[in-house]
Amino acid sequence: MTNNNPIGLFDSGIGGTSIWAAIHNLLPNEDTIYLADSKNAPYGEKSKQEILELSCKNTEFLLNQNCKIIVVACNTATTNAIKELRSKYDVPFIGIEPAIKPAATNSKTQKIGILATKGTLNSELFHKNVEKFQDVEIIEQIGFGLVELIESGKINSLEMKDLLKQYLSPMIKANIDYLVLGCSHYPYLIPQIKKIIPSKIHIIDSGQAVAKQTKNILLEKIGLNDASNKNSHTFYTNTNPKVLSEILKNKYHIDFKDF
Ligand code: DGL
């Protein structure tokens, strides 16, 4: 089964490029269209209804470009809107959720930490997921301000360092051995986080799992791209493209679109 239409991805901003990179790595022949809704970031501070409306707008933009599958490269949008998206649109959706399962099942200290947005940690889907792991103590922390700093290109700033120390210290004191990054922006903070936490704490994000799931669904239901020509990757943003361009190492052209 083949299908040469692109994979569509969206996020509240540049963070979902961490998921895009994992997908591109696993599926190098696929065309992709990435939508960074940075104008509306952070989604994590918005209501469920607002997140749903933005997710519908993003989905329709990608469907108008003939995407064969939509990857919701945002934990906040997934945990608040994926159920509604799946019932409203006739296209497969891949979502991203905090990887609690591998952390909880592998933890030796029976204590894990999770850093995510307010929207994700307060969602019904997240609560349902957490309830499955009663034997493990889960230390939740909202990453207030982190997405804003990443979106403004301040990944390596002193402000970032201070916020991370503040958020991670209670987890270190509690003796966690797994730290779950429950926001697609946060993998870009791993070098900073590693300077703060002891090396025995494992850091987990969901990029690889989402990429594998995307591949499986394409194989089973949609079809892979069999074109032999050079594949194309289109990136759209509705703000200044500078930070997105930098995170992509200036390797790809970025289109500004006021969506
Ligand atoms: N990158 C998003 C996530 O995975 C959302 C960040 C935000 O806009 O608050 O949760």
178 and 225 inside one domain: no
149 and 184 inside one domain: yes
Q: How far apart are CA 28 and CA 233, in angstroms?
A: 11
211 and 83 inside one domain: yes
75-88 and 124-131 are packed helices; what angle lies between their axes, rounded to 10 degrees? Answer: 110
15 and 47 inside one domain: yes
195 and 216 inside one domain: no
Among 167, 182, 204, give the residue marking a domain's end.
Answer: 204
- Does 2 fall in a domain? no
- Does 121 fall in a domain? yes
Is residue 228's pLDDT more than 80?
no
CA of 43 relative to ligand 1 center, distance in Å: 6
45 and 118 inside one domain: no
Q: Which residue out of 9, 12, 35 has the highest number of ligand 1 atoms within 8 Å of its CB and is therefore the one to mutate? A: 12
| pLDDT tens column, 36-54 | 999 999 999 999 999 999 9
Q: How far apart are CA 63 and CA 44, in angstroms?
A: 24
| Range 92-104 average pLDDT | 97
Among 161, 188, 204, give the residue marking a domain's end.
Answer: 204
Looking at residue 159, its pLDDT comes to 98
**Range of 38's domain?**
7-96+207-256
| pLDDT tens column, 194-207 | 999 999 999 999 99
Looking at residue 177, its pLDDT comes to 98
> Which stretches within the chain are classed as H helix?
17-26, 48-63, 75-88, 100-106, 118-121, 124-131, 146-151, 158-173, 190-194, 207-217, 242-247
Q: Total domain count for the chain?
A: 2
91 and 130 inside one domain: no
| pLDDT tens column, 51-84 | 999 999 999 999 999 999 999 999 999 999 999 9
The catalytic residue among 150, 183, 189, 243 is 183
The reply to whether 183 belongs to the active site is yes
| Domain harbouring 84, CATH code | 3.40.50.1860
The reply to whether 56 belongs to the active site is no
Q: CB of 43 closer than 6 A to ligand 1?
A: yes
- Does 221 fall in a domain? yes
226 and 200 inside one domain: no
CA of 85 relative to ligand 1 center, distance in Å: 17
174 and 124 inside one domain: yes
Looking at residue 163, its pLDDT comes to 98
Contact between 177 and 201 under an 8 Å Cβ cutoff? The reply is yes
pTM of the model: 0.96
Atom of ligand 1 nearest to the CA of 16: 1
Among 186, 204, 222, give the residue marking a domain's end.
Answer: 204
Establish how many alpha carbons lie within 13 A of residue 149's alpha carbon, considering only the half-sphere containing its beta carbon.
18
Contact between 78 and 126 under an 8 Å Cβ cutoff? The reply is no
Distances (CA, A) of 38 to 16, 116, 192: 11, 18, 23
215 and 184 inside one domain: no
Q: CB of 41 closer than 6 A to ligand 1?
A: yes
| pLDDT tens column, 166-219 | 999 999 999 999 999 999 999 999 999 999 999 999 999 999 999 999 999 999
Counting residues of the chain whose pLDDT is more than 90, the rounded percentage is 97
Atom of ligand 1 nearest to the CA of 12: 8
**DSSP 8-state code for residue 176:** -
Q: How far apart are CA 13 and CA 73, in angstroms?
A: 10
89 and 213 inside one domain: yes
Residue nearest to atom 8 of ligand 1 (CA): 42
Looking at residue 229, its pLDDT comes to 72
Q: CB of 186 closer than 6 A to ligand 1?
A: no
Which residues contact residue 77 at a Cβ distance below 8 angstroms, ignoring those fewer than 6 apart? 10, 11, 12, 43, 51, 54, 55, 58
- Does 1 fall in a domain? no
Is residue 231's pLDDT more than 90?
no
11 and 92 inside one domain: yes
CA of 193 relative to ligand 1 center, distance in Å: 18
Residue nearest to atom 2 of ligand 1 (CA): 74
Q: How far apart are CA 255 and CA 253, in angstroms?
A: 7
